[in-house]
Structure formats: structure tokens, C-alpha cells
Amino acid sequence: MDDKLKWCFSKKGVRLIEPNENLAREYLKSAEETLLVLKDIKERSNMWLATTKYYCEYFAVYALLMRLGIKSEIHDCTIEIIKFLEKESIIEKGIAKVLEHDKELRIDNQYYLKNKRVAVSYNSLRDLILKMKERINIITNEKVGEIREKIRKLVSEAFQ
């Protein structure tokens, strides 16, 4: 198992909770609301564009985590669990890379005031939300159980 993911489990940055479809829907709604806010910001502030864009993406993927019953309280750990889900073909490859890039852009603009340009594709963000919604709607309870069992094994490996 990847050392970063082991670290996440050891620090309780990722843990299993009960799968929650209601919370998944609420996070999707938050992603959609954030996308609307992003449209209002336009080109007025690179700091707020970076922050809002990242959280739109984050809420969308976090909705899937809630459906799977995976709680993550550390953003780097969320990205690591997304990488795991990519390897398991639960979501398409590349989403973790986008999250990583946009998290760093958010940090640079929000905390270090670097005012880096933020490229925003509303269609791509909307597509991500729709992809997560689709995954949430079509994933079976059996598949959720399989993923959770694989995670349980990873957790036990982390503590050996």
C-alpha cells in the first residue's frame, strides 16, 4: 500500500463510516451551489476563483465518498483515497490529479496571495458533478461493500 495512504489511516485522516446517500446528495447540492457561486465571481478575484473551483470539485468527489461510507478530514488524504478509487475503476483516472493541482493553486492564491491565473471550465466542472452523481446513483450496495472490504484490509495493513 502507498505510504501516503498508510499515513492517512494511521492519523485517522480516512476512516469508514456508514454509507450515507442523504449526505451524498447534500454534498452534490453543495457542489452545484458552489458552481453557481463560481459563475458569479468570474474574473474578479483569482483567490476566490481558485478557492471556489477547488471546493466545487472537492464537494463533488466527497459526495461519492459519503455514498461509499468513507470519511476524510484531511484534503491530502481525500486525494489519496480518490487515487485508490481510480485504481479500483470506481471513477475515471485523472480526477485526483486535477484535485491535487487545484488544491495547490488554491493554497498559493488563498494563503500565499500569489494571484496565479485560474483557468475555469464551467462545462468540465458540471461534467464532474454529473459523473459523481451518476456513480452515486448506479453503484450497487454490493460494490460499496466490496470497496469497503478492500479499505478495511488496507487499514489493517497500515497498523501491522
pLDDT the model gives residue 66: 98
The pLDDT-based confidence of 114 (bands split at 50, 70, 90) is: very high
Stretch 50-61: mean pLDDT: 98
Separation of alpha carbons 31 and 122, rounded Å: 12
Q: Residue 158's closest CA among 88, 73, 150?
A: 150
pLDDT the model gives residue 68: 98
- Asked whether the predicted pLDDT for residue 129 surpasses 60, the reply is yes
Separation of alpha carbons 146 and 48, rounded Å: 38
Yes or no: say if 106 and 51 are a contact pair by the CB < 8 Å rule: yes
- Asked whether the predicted pLDDT for residue 1 surpasses 70, the reply is no
Whole-number percent of the chain with pLDDT over 90:
82
pLDDT the model gives residue 42: 74
Q: Which residues pair with 70 in a beta bridge?
A: 16
Superfamily for the 3-158 domain: Nucleotidyltransferases  domain 2 (1.20.120.330)
- Asked whether the predicted pLDDT for residue 4 surpasses 90, the reply is no
What is the model's pTM? 0.94
**151 burial type by CB count under 10 A (0-12 exposed, 13-18 middle, 19+ buried):** buried
For the chain, give every domain's residue range: 3-158
Separation of alpha carbons 114 and 11, rounded Å: 31
pLDDT the model gives residue 12: 84
